[in-house]
A and B are shown apart, each in its own frame.
Chain A
Amino acid sequence: MAKPKVAFYWCASCGGCEEAVVDLAEDILKVVEAVDIVLWPVALDFKYKDIEAMPDKSILVSFINGAIRNSEQEHIAKLLRQKSQLIVAFGACAHLGGIPGLANVANRKEIFETAYKLTHTTVNPKEIFPQLVTEIPQGKLTLPEFYDTVKSLDQTIEVDYYLPGCAPPPDLIMKGVQTLLSGNLPPKGTVIASEKALCETCPRNKTKPDKMVIKEIKRIHEVIADPEKCFLAEGIICVGPATRGGCGERCINANMPCRGCFGPTKEVIDQGAKFLSALASIIDANTDEEVQKITESIIDPIGLFYMYSLPTSILRRKQGV
């Protein structure tokens, strides 16, 4: 029997998700042995036209990482959807919009101005900005269109499964790959991770006081965090209560608070609003003055509460830009 065909593709990605696949170490050999890779731009030289020439649904599964931020990514995502039986959104950017999704606080114009003009290291006296088409003597050069708004993968194509995380941990990737290859498929739309919140399995949970109260918000770089104690109880923002578990408490074990890369748990539609609600409940402030003071001390709520999920939040992007 022919081996199942598998594609890996990256959209608006940092390359970390590809790195996570490479980090499978010797397990990657098991994957390579079991499947026939038909596209993997970071590692292997295939052409888009090879994919275009394939019959529809001839790829068993395409793993797509990265958010959708330009027309080429949208095009290839749609092409892979057409050619694949299953699509897995791989990593936080494909799942939720991820870090690139934070660009939704701006638009294309602002981003180009910053990147091609305003930063101190940019030297661009002729103010040359990327163009869709550039005519040169040898012919026309084209670039993909850069969109105003970053989208998650499922805001562009239908997605069957999600492998969460920035990047997904190797054990979860192996579990996902094995599940899909076994043909014993979970219900469509499943996020392949825990159903519970991170706090439930967090080793610091046992240090949580019965009644948690915080008087002051501390930023992680301002303090030396106690490696045993619950961050939130110490006044350090930790998005664990609003985040799906299953990462193996990677950040927590490195003495860093959770930033939410596994996304919200199943019942929650808006990770940031959920966290905001949980945080407000434990803040010890009764008068309007106390409330105002502590609210002001929370720097950049979008960046903190939606670090990975702005495009899939209820509001999706900043308005008026």
Chain B
Amino acid sequence: MMNENFEPKIVGFMCKWCTYAAADLAGVSRLQYPPNIVPIRLMCSGGLEPSYVLKALQEGADGVFIGGCHFGDCHYQTGNYQTNKRIALLKKLLEEMGIDKRRVRLEWISAAEGVKFAHTIKEFVEEIKKLGPNPLKKEA
């Protein structure tokens, strides 16, 4: 059901210390990646309440990207371990709710990994394009 004209809207929740900095690095390095992501900076991915992810999906995001620091690198010690558990449980809930869990993607990307950031977003946008629009999207 690949629709050539479909441009996914992706909400990105990213931790200030790692993935958001990686996005900045990708920017200043002039790396190319699709402009589909709306970044939201968090102090820590561990501060992401699962209800924000549900809200983003319910309000029409086609995908939700969550970026945090690699294990062991969290500025607050264990925030990313919490994120890992929450998102795993949330994905299980999403599946039971009839929403493809691939619409939510969690990645650990450090401040130095601008290339990984650009590549991940590119890959995620492609994947969401294949999945098509979020079925929750209200009729325009």
Measuring CB to CB, which residues of chain A are less than 8 angstroms from any residue of chain B? 105, 268-270, 272-274, 276-277, 279-281, 283, 285-286, 288, 291-292, 295-296, 298, 300-302, 305, 313-315, 318-321
Assess whether B33 is interfacial by the CB under 8 Å rule.
no
Q: Contacts A276-B50, A314-B58, A318-B98 hold; do A298 and B84 have CB atoms under 8 A apart?
A: no
A295 near B92 with CB under 8 A, answer: yes
Whether A270 and B51, one on each chain, are in contact in the complex, defined by CB atoms closer than 8 angstroms, is: yes
Quick check: is B135 within 8 A (CB to CB) of the other chain?
Answer: yes
Q: Are B136 and A273 in contact (CB under 8 A)?
A: no
The minimal Cβ–Cβ distance linking B75 to chain A, given in whole angstroms, is 18
Known: A273-B49, A319-B97. 15 other contacts (CB 8 A): A273-B51, A273-B54, A274-B49, A279-B89, A281-B85, A286-B81, A288-B84, A291-B88, A298-B92, A300-B96, A313-B54, A314-B58, A315-B57, A315-B58, A319-B136
In the assembled complex, the Cα of A302 lies from the Cα of B71 at a distance in Å of: 30
Q: Does B55 sit at the interface, judged by CB under 8 A?
A: yes
A276 to chain B, nearest CB (A): 5
Produce 1/0 per residue, B58-85, CB < 8 A to A.
1000000000000100000000011011
Residues of chain A with a CB closer than 8 A to B57's CB = 315
Is B43 interfacial (CB-CB < 8 Å)?
no
Residues of A within 8 A of B98 (CB): 318-321
CB distance from A43 to the nearest CB of B (A): 39
Cβ of B85 and Cβ of A283 under 8 Å apart? yes
Cβ-defined contact, B85 with A314, below 8 A: no
Chain B min CB distance to A105 (Å): 8
Bound: A296/B71 CA distance, A: 22
Q: Are A314 and B86 in contact (CB under 8 A)?
A: no
A272 touches B84 (CB 8 A): no
Complex-state Cα separation, A296 to B92, whole angstroms: 8
A269/B51 in contact, CB under 8 A: yes
Partner of B97, one of A268, A279, A296, A318: A318
Chain A residues near B90 (CB-CB < 8 A): 273, 276
- B41: min CB distance to chain A, Å: 20
Please determine whether B99 and A301 come into contact, CB atoms closer than 8 angstroms: no
Contact indicator A285/B85 (Cβ below 8 Å): yes
Contact with A along B83-109 (1 / 0, CB 8 A): 011101110110011110000000000
A-B contact pairs, 14 of them (CB 8 A): A270-B51, A277-B49, A277-B50, A279-B89, A280-B82, A286-B71, A291-B88, A295-B88, A301-B96, A302-B96, A314-B51, A315-B54, A315-B97, A321-B98
